[in-house]
Amino acid sequence: MVIKREMAFGIVQGLGDIWKCQELQDFTVTLGDTQYGCHRLLLAACSIYFRGLFRSGMKETESNCVTVEDISSETFELILETLYTGHSVLTNDNVTDIWRAAHRLQIEFLVKECEHFVIKTMSLENYIDYFKVGRLFNSNAVVDVAWMFMLKNFTSFSKEHFFLELPLSDVLRLVESQSLVAKSEDNVIKAIMKWIEFAPNSEGLPSSRVQDVAMEDSRCLRFQNERNDIKNVNVSNENSSVGILTGGSRSMDLFALMSRARTCLASHECLEMMLGHPLVTSDKQTRDLITQALLYQLQIGKRNGQWPTSAIHRNSSFYENVAITAELLPDITLIKVFSFTRNKWFSTKIKSFPGTEVFRLAAVDKSLYSLCVTLKSRWDNEDEPYRLSLFELMHNAWSEKQFHLRIPPLCRYFFTAVNDYIYLLNSDLRTIWRLDPKSTLSVQLANNIPDD
C-alpha cells in the first residue's frame, strides 16, 4: 500500500492541532502529580501497552484514567509530542529515558527510532552505557555496534571497570575475535589476567553489578505484573523474577581465555613473566600453553607455513599469514601472495636478475629471500659456470646480498629456513651449507654425508 506523503503530513498536522488545543480528550494518564489528557484512539494505535489495557475491560477503561509508574512526566510529555506531531525530540541527554519508556509502553516505532539515534550518535564517551541498555532491551543492532567499539578500542576498554564485570562468555568472545584491535598481544594477555584477578563479591558478581541486576529485576517484575494484571493473570514473584547468577573462582577460566589469545604472537618477555605467575604455575594446562608459545617463537622454520590458532595475526596487525609462490618469467619475477585473512590472491611483478636460470624462495621471519642460480655471463671465470646468489626483497625490488656460493653445473640442491638461517643441502655432493642472511656469512657444516 502506497502512503501519500501529503496526506500523512495533513493527518499528523491535524493531530498536532487537536493536542495543542486539548480538544476531544477522552482518557487521562497520571504520572506522579501530573495528569495528561489524551485520546484513546491515538494511544491504542501507537502503544501495544495501552491497546491491551483498553481491550482488557479493567477498571481503568471504565474510569478513563490510568497511573503509570517508572516514567517521568518530562519523558512522557516528549513521547506525547512525538505521537501527536511526529517531531523528533531525541537528544543525547534524553534518548535513554525515552527509549526505556517506549520499551515500557511498547511503542515499537519509537523504540526503533531510539535505536537508530543511539547507533548514529554512539561514541567513545557513551558506548558502554548504550551497550548496557541495548542488552537490557534485547536490541541486537545497538549491542553489535557497541561491541565493535569494544573491539576497536580494546586497550582503553580493558581499563574500564565495566570490562571486569563482563561475564566469561563476553570476554571469551572478545579475546578470540579476529577484529580485536590492540597495540600488541601483550595487552590482550594483561587484560585477561586483570579480569581473572578481579575479585567478585561473595555472591559471584561485583557489588555494583549486583545492584544493577537487582534494579533491573525490580523493574522487570513490576512491568511483568502490570502486563499480567491487564491479562487478568496472576503470576507469582518467584516465577517472574530475574535470578542473580553465581559463579566460582575466575582462576578456573584462565586456560579457556589464554587458549583463545594469540599467545605465539606475544613478546618473549610477556610469556616469561606469565610462566612465573602463581596462577600459571598452579595450572598445568596454561603452563604448557605458554611453554609451547615460547618454543614456537624459537623455531622460525615452523612459522613458515605451520600456524596454530594462537599464531594467526589479527585483522588489525601489520602482518598477515600468507602463502607465497613465484614464477620466473623473461625479465620479471611474478610473485603471488594468498592472504588467509582476506581470502584473496595478490600479485606483483618485480624485475628479474640478469643471467638467472633457476631460483627458489625462502622466508626467514618477516623477510623474503630468493636463492638464485646465475650463469657465467655475470663473471669471467670459465671454470665456475654456475654461482648461487642470495637476494632480499626490499621496497618491491630485489637487493643482492654480498656473498656467493659456487656450485658445479647441473647440481641438484634443496634449501629450507630454520630459525635465523637458511640451510642449503646439495644432494650430489652430499654437502650442507648454512647461510646467514643478516651477516652474509656462509658456513659449510657437513661434507660427504653418508647415504643412511
What is the Cα–Cα distance from 25 to 45, expressed in whole angstroms? 15
Give the residue extent of every domain in the chain.
5-121, 166-198+249-318, 353-447
Grid cell, residue 140, equals 541486537
CA 381 to chain centroid: 60
Write the pLDDT tens digit of every residue in 217-262. Answer: 444 434 344 444 434 333 333 333 332 233 348 889 999 999 999 9
Rounded CA-CA distance 384/371 in Å is 17
Q: What percent of the residues of the chain are helix, what percent strand, and what percent coil, each to the nearest 5? A: 45, 20, 35
Residue 300 pLDDT: 55
pLDDT at 350 over 90: no
pLDDT digits (tens, 9 = 90+) for 14-24: 565 565 666 67
Q: 3-class SS at 149?
A: helix
DSSP state of 309: G
Confidence of residue 357 (pLDDT cuts 50, 70, 90): low
Q: What is the pTM of this model?
A: 0.67
d(CA 302, CA 229) in angstroms, rounded, equals 67
Asked if the model's pLDDT at residue 401 lies above 90, the reply is no
Distance CA 12, CA 83 (A): 9
Cα(263)–Cα(308) distance, integer angstroms? 10
- CATH number of this structure's domain 166-198+249-318, picked from the four choices 1.10.20, 1.10.10, 1.10.3090, 1.25.40: 1.25.40
123 pLDDT more than 90: yes
- Asked whether residue 10 carries a pLDDT value surpassing 60, the answer given is no
Q: Distance (Å, rounded) from C-alpha 17 to C-alpha 65?
A: 23
Give the pLDDT confidence score for residue 69 in this predicted structure: 84
**Lowest mean pLDDT: which of 49-53, 153-157, 219-223, 279-283?**
219-223
User: Kind and range of the H or E element at 122?
Assistant: none
Lowest mean pLDDT across 87-96, 258-267, 352-361: 352-361
Cell matching residue 268 = 618473549
Q: Which of 182-186, 343-347, 380-384 has maximum average pLDDT?
A: 182-186
Quote the CA–CA distance of 321 and 311 in Å, as a whole number.
9
User: Is 5-121 assigned to CATH 3.30.710.10?
Assistant: yes
Q: What is the 8-class DSSP label of residue 245?
A: P
Q: How far apart are CA 55 and CA 428, in angstroms?
A: 95
User: Got the DSSP string for 246-276?
Assistant: ----GGGGHHHHHTTS-GGGS-HHHHHHHHT
For 359, 373, 374, 381, the CA distances from 377, given in Å and listed in that order, are 16, 12, 8, 9
User: What is the average pLDDT across 195-219?
Assistant: 53
Q: Across residues 324-344, what is the average pLDDT? A: 77
